[in-house]
Amino acid sequence: MSLRPSPPPAALADHAADQLAFIRDTMVRAGRFTAVSGTGMIGAGLIGAAAAVISARAATPGAWLGVWLAAAVLAMTLSVAAISRKARRSGQSLRAGPGRTFALAFAPSLIAGALLTAALVLAGWWRLLPGTWLVCYGAAVVSGGAFSVRAVPVLGTVLVALGAAALFLPAATHVWLLGAGFGVAHLSFGFFIARYHGG
């Protein structure tokens, strides 16, 4: 039989409150980021499809690159705005919990893609750019999508497969693969997410 005195009720209450806070924080971190916007993805798909058509007529590699870089900036800006709007509507934070986890998982592959783009352009290895973009962006989507709805990592896997094909297929196929990845795939998955996951 223990002779230790029982902790005072106030200490028990504090301990219980700490445990509840820990459980709540753990559940928030383990939750899914459901603010990926289908409408934003559709907009990005339209931009990607337009970029594929316009870049196919570019007179120089520099002009071709300019088209795709402008499309990337536009699509990313639109996507972030759409995600922010959906997150506000659903009461999710982009700076904490699943939103922060999604962003931290998404960013490294995207940064790697930007660095590889610069290196490949400096080396003059233009034909490797489409595959690099699709693989790196697809890897970012798979990583971030692990904390989101199931359709998101599936989209990432499709993009990685298209990028792998672009790395080994002739340059004549690249415009089609870029259009399929940044255009058609985004449109298809965007419509699915908009319909089944709240816009």
| pLDDT tens sequence across 118-175 | 999 999 999 999 999 999 999 999 999 888 889 999 999 999 999 999 999 999 999 9
Within-domain flag for 105 = yes
Within-domain flag for 28 = no
Within-domain flag for 147 = yes
Within-domain flag for 19 = no
- Residue ranges of alpha helices (H) inside 124-173 are 129-145, 151-168
Across the chain, what does the average pLDDT equal?
87
pLDDT band at 3 (very low <50, low <70, confident <90, very high): low
Within-domain flag for 139 = yes
For range 90-106, the mean pLDDT: 83
- Counting the structural domains of the chain, the total is 1
Within-domain flag for 191 = yes
Q: What are the backbone angles phi and psi of residue 33, rounded to the nearest 5°? A: -90, 105
Where in the sequence is the domain holding 163, given as residue range(s)? 34-84+95-196
Within-domain flag for 61 = yes
What's the angle, vertex CA 71, arms to CA 66 and CA 75, rounded to 5? 155
pTM for the whole structure: 0.82
Per-residue model confidence (pLDDT) at position 30: 46
Per-residue model confidence (pLDDT) at position 145: 87
Per-residue model confidence (pLDDT) at position 67: 98
Within-domain flag for 189 = yes
Per-residue model confidence (pLDDT) at position 87: 84
Residue 148, helix vs strand vs coil: strand
Residue from 57, 112, 50 nearest 75 by CA: 50
